[in-house]
Amino acid sequence: MPLRWRDLDAFNHVNNATFLSYLEETRIHWMTGLEGAWRNEATSPILAATSINYRRQLGWPGEIVVQLIVERLGTTSLTFGQRIVDARDRDILYADGTAVLVWIETASGRPVPLPEAIRKACA
């Protein structure tokens, strides 16, 4: 993922909030690449929790890789482990953390079982 000039803040490094956007973009990219439906009119995922550890400042220009692994597969939730590393030297860690997605019934907001497409992709 190339870094964008607009990602910089007044201190001339990537704004901390932008790190969360990189992680979100990677999760969405992963889900949209799945075979089968992972959301529909009745159910969809929501971000229930996120944590991030900022390990190193990230400057422009540059390219990053966002690594995504499934840490936990629950009945109604999925926990991703995520890392932002340098595209050229993957030993350089900029940030790491987790994100918990919960699938809900959109009308009620109540949790529902994970879609089969998600379970299959994580198997």
What's the whole-model pTM score?
0.89
- Rounded CA-CA distance 23/68 in Å is 9
As to burial, measured by CB atoms within 10 angstroms (0-12 exposed, 13-18 middle, 19+ buried), residue 114 is buried
Domain 5-122 has CATH 3.10.129.10: yes
Q: What is the pLDDT along the chain (123 residues), one digit of tens a residue?
A: 999 999 998 888 999 999 999 999 999 999 999 999 999 999 999 999 999 999 999 998 999 999 999 999 999 999 999 999 999 999 999 999 999 999 999 999 999 999 999 999 998
Each domain of the chain, given as residue ranges in start order, spans 5-122
On whether the CB atoms of residues 96 and 84 are closer than 8 A, the answer is yes
